[in-house]
Chain A
Amino acid sequence: MSTDTLSSAPGVGGPGKGPLLEVDDLRVSFRTEDGMVQAVDGVSFDVKPGEVLAVVGESGCGKSVTAMTLMGLTRGPNAQISGTAQLGETELIGADDSALREVRGERLAMIFQDPMTSMNPVYKVGDQISEQILAHRDLSKAEAKQRSIELLKAVGIPGAEERIDNYPHEFSGGMRQRAMIAMGLSLEPPMLIADEPTTALDVTIQAQILRLLKQLNTERGLAVILITHDLGVVADIADRVMVMYAGRVVETGTLDQIFYEPQHPYTWGLLGSIMRLDRPRGARLAQIKGQPPSLIEPPEGCHFRPRCPHAFSRCTEKPELAQRSGSPGHLDRCWLSGEQKKTLRTLESGDIGLEDAAA
């Protein structure tokens, strides 16, 4: 077994091979006191080796539930899960606990949003990293500790030899997130799910963590599913983007397709709502009116219809995610014609945005 942390991970195929992960028609709903919450409503996507897929959407759109379902973390007596998720040969949905244990950490790892609460405060950081290594690998405690030190070094924690004996509260937020990433990488999985990895961090620390993820992606061919609401982060690091709204994927395409030729009005609205650093203080923001719908009784047809200024009669019919007017590989869920999309998404200012219904 290699102890060199920066060697390329075993099991990572070169680009051009088939997808690492294939998710098809994933549905997750939770029974609550108020009724059935359809958190994820037919999500399909794939991730190729060495690819960074960004999942974008607002809170409650189902992006985290999708990721947690892949890790088997949403199972419960009140949850209903259907669909398939193939990780290589393994089917993740419905896999039993021992099969999942083989997958977690080994072939698919996850890091969470809040580095303050995702570590156990009463165990040393090093012990928390070693624990996973000891459970999966036939190594002695001393070897596992050595490996943990190498991992901490690889993610850029200075003085790793001493830091390994610190408790989580002795780490800053950025260092904790680095330690979480080290933990995720400890078994050299080919894929990492990062759920809002930088949201709780300051911008200068965010830049450090993004640089680390980019480096792991290029040097080790690590595939990343990056869940975020920040389109700036997406533009910085992603290869492909999947935009989610109210439990459904409304648009998916390459980075350039989504940013320069967005097809779905919700994507236009997201792009228009951002207060950009590189733009002078200018006109009103092209805001999206209203708020996301309840997932207990989502609107009929297109979920975005009640907030969309361009909705018309056909929108009460559910649009499927398909190749419509976008270039190859660019799928969306909107009934508008390609010509309409092109003219409607451009605002008076020349920027992309959603026409302000109030204006």
Chain B
Amino acid sequence: MSSAAEKATADGGGLLEVTDLIKHFPIKSGVLVNRQVGAVRAVDGVSFGVKEGETLGLVGESGCGKSTLARSILQLLKPTSGSVRFRGTELTELGRRELRPLRREMQMIFQDPYASLNPRKRVGQIVGDPLKLHGLASGKELDRRVQDLLERVGLSAEHIKRFPHEFSGGQRQRIGVARALSLEPKMIIADEPVSALDVSIQAQIVNLLEDLQDEFGLTYVFVAHDLGVVRHVSDRIAVMYLGKIVEIGPAEEVYSNPIHPYTVSLLSAVPIPDPRLNASREQVVLEGDVPSPANPPEACRFHTRCPRATDICSEVEPPLVNYGNDHWAACHHPVGREQRAPAAPAAQTA
């Protein structure tokens, strides 16, 4: 937690500020006394900020805590500790009732378009209910707004009376987008919004999300494991590994000059759909699997799989350091550091 204050300033603040956010899930054991024997450290001290109108991409492999982080920001999961400030308001201290007006400004799009729509409700209800619940529209006005929303996401008014099962995956995801838009939010957290869809449909949904961002000035936190998708949509990118952000910076920077060895291997693992280019580049293939977040490795969590690891990596946890250009990474052996001197020398005593 020592470097929390510094990390928070990494982005100059903005619409959303997350500081030292921790979410641990208790592991319990025992029949009568439900005693806690451990914790899954899903999110373990994460700090970042999101500016208004930008898209922050959050990437990492399954189990790295990216979905938990998304849900903890929205207070769908109560964080264990840490702070989440949305437009200056501290969310973690608010109760259910106090959160409600703020929820209008932060909405979510979910991964699975089959599981995130109530199968027994008609599309009109699914999209219109948020408006009704927040008392923003009723009667004729409600119908008109629902119709507008559906048309905006590429569906038509005739779909209002239909049930979710009558739609394809891509259309369902459009319904999910319309529902998220209905309250005219400032920020949308999209948790793997295209990973369940086919390539051609993915492109449609990504184009739609970008159009909506231009039109309504939306801010996105875009969670995905597909680095191609994240690169396409993001202004800035945060790379997570086992509950921690290991690298964060402008998208171009992170992709063209990755600093953390994990980012390097993640980028190199993705095959490029261009046979000649693919054959000519050098691939770093990581050995082994991601360790369990219930028992993460000491110090740098990546040291068990890292090709550059030395003794210090298992003894001292590397802090996030600014390498200039708002490009931060947490590594003792940064890639290409020989050429680049850290703009802010690591003054922390971790």
Report B-chain residues with C-beta under 8 Å of the C-beta of A58: 198-201
Q: Point out the residue from A175, A202, A277, A288 that lies within 8 Å of B228, measured CB to CB.
A: A277
Q: Point out the residue from B171, B269, B272, B283 that lies within 8 Å of A278, measured CB to CB.
A: B272
Q: Point out the residue from B227, B233, B235, B275 that lies within 8 Å of A203, measured CB to CB.
A: B227
CB distance B286 to A277 under 8 Å?
no
Report B-chain residues with C-beta under 8 Å of the C-beta of A233: 271
Quick one: which of B235-268 are within 8 Å of A by CB?
A: 235, 251-252, 255, 265-268
Q: Is A206 located at the chain interface by the 8 A CB criterion?
A: yes
A284-B200 contact, Cβ under 8 Å, with A202-B62, A277-B255: no
CB distance B207 to A287 under 8 Å?
yes
Cα of A206 to Cα of B286 in the assembled complex, Å: 10
CB distance A288 to B203 under 8 Å?
yes
A288 (CB) vs chain B CBs: closest residue: B200
Q: Is B232 located at the chain interface by the 8 A CB criterion?
A: yes
A235-B272 contact, Cβ under 8 Å, with A203-B227, A207-B286, A275-B231: yes
Q: Is A151 located at the chain interface by the 8 A CB criterion?
A: no
Quick one: which of B12-63 are within 8 Å of A by CB?
A: 61-62
Q: Is A229 located at the chain interface by the 8 A CB criterion?
A: yes
One of A119-127, A181-189, A265-273, A320-328 contacting the partner: A265-273
Q: Is A234 located at the chain interface by the 8 A CB criterion?
A: yes
Cα of A217 to Cα of B265 in the assembled complex, Å: 24
Q: Is A59 located at the chain interface by the 8 A CB criterion?
A: yes
Cα of A232 to Cα of B229 in the assembled complex, Å: 13
CB distance B285 to A276 under 8 Å?
no
Interface string of A201-237 (1 = CB under 8 A from B): 0111111101100000000000000000111111110
Q: Point out the residue from B204, B266, B289 that lies within 8 Å of A287, measured CB to CB.
A: B204
Closest CB-CB distance, B65 to chain A, in whole Å? 14
Quick one: which of B163-207 are within 8 Å of A by CB?
A: 168, 170-171, 198-204, 206-207
CB distance B232 to A270 under 8 Å?
no
CB distance A277 to B290 under 8 Å?
no
Report A-chain residues with C-beta under 8 Å of the C-beta of B268: 207
Closest CB-CB distance, B216 to chain A, in whole Å? 17
Quick one: which of B262-308 are within 8 Å of A by CB?
A: 265-278, 283, 285-287, 289-290
A207-B285 contact, Cβ under 8 Å, with A235-B271, A284-B207: yes
Q: Is B210 located at the chain interface by the 8 A CB criterion?
A: yes
Closest CB-CB distance, B95 to chain A, in whole Å? 38
Report B-chain residues with C-beta under 8 Å of the C-beta of A235: 271-275, 278
Q: Is A256 located at the chain interface by the 8 A CB criterion?
A: yes
Name which of A59, A205, A230, A278 has the most chain B CB atoms within 10 A of its CB: A278
Report A-chain residues with C-beta under 8 Å of the C-beta of B225: 202-203
CB distance B252 to A206 under 8 Å?
no
CB distance A232 to B270 under 8 Å?
yes
CB distance B231 to A281 under 8 Å?
yes
Cα of A272 to Cα of B272 in the assembled complex, Å: 13
CB distance A274 to B231 under 8 Å?
no
CB distance B199 to A211 under 8 Å?
no
Cα of A247 to Cα of B274 in the assembled complex, Å: 26
Closest CB-CB distance, B142 to chain A, in whole Å? 29
Cα of A235 to Cα of B168 in the assembled complex, Å: 29
Q: Is B219 located at the chain interface by the 8 A CB criterion?
A: no
Closest CB-CB distance, B349 to chain A, in whole Å? 33
Report A-chain residues with C-beta under 8 Å of the C-beta of B61: 202-205
Cα of A211 to Cα of B268 in the assembled complex, Å: 13
Interface string of A156-189 (1 = CB under 8 A from B): 0000000000000000101100000000000000
Closest CB-CB distance, A114 to chain B, in whole Å? 14
A276-B207 contact, Cβ under 8 Å, with A58-B199, A235-B275: no
Name which of B62, B204, B233, B267 has the most chain A CB atoms within 10 A of its CB: B204
Q: Point out the residue from A210, A273, A292 that lies within 8 Å of B203, measured CB to CB.
A: A273
Name which of B225, B232, B276 has the most chain A CB atoms within 10 A of its CB: B232
Report B-chain residues with C-beta under 8 Å of the C-beta of A205: 61, 289
Q: Is A259 located at the chain interface by the 8 A CB criterion?
A: yes
Q: Is A291 located at the chain interface by the 8 A CB criterion?
A: yes
Cα of A58 to Cα of B290 in the assembled complex, Å: 30
Report B-chain residues with C-beta under 8 Å of the C-beta of A207: 268-269, 271, 283, 285-286
Cα of A172 to Cα of B289 in the assembled complex, Å: 8
Name which of B229, B270, B277, B286 has the most chain A CB atoms within 10 A of its CB: B270
Q: Is A255 located at the chain interface by the 8 A CB criterion?
A: yes
A274-B267 contact, Cβ under 8 Å, with A203-B61, A281-B232, A284-B207: no
CB distance A285 to B206 under 8 Å?
yes
Q: Point out the residue from A236, A286, A288 that lies within 8 Å of B271, measured CB to CB.
A: A236
Q: Is A14 located at the chain interface by the 8 A CB criterion?
A: no
- Residues on B lying within 8 angstroms of A by beta carbon are 61-62, 168, 170-171, 198-204, 206-207, 210, 225-229, 231-235, 251-252, 255, 265-278, 283, 285-287, 289-290
Q: Can you pick out 17 interface pairs between chain A and chain B where the beta carbons lie within 8 Å of each other?
A: A203-B61, A204-B286, A206-B269, A207-B269, A210-B271, A211-B285, A232-B273, A255-B275, A259-B274, A273-B199, A274-B273, A275-B206, A276-B273, A277-B267, A278-B272, A281-B233, A285-B207
Query: What 7 A-B pairs have minimum CB-CB distances, sorted nearest first?
Result: A232-B271, A236-B271, A273-B203, A275-B232, A231-B273, A207-B269, A202-B61
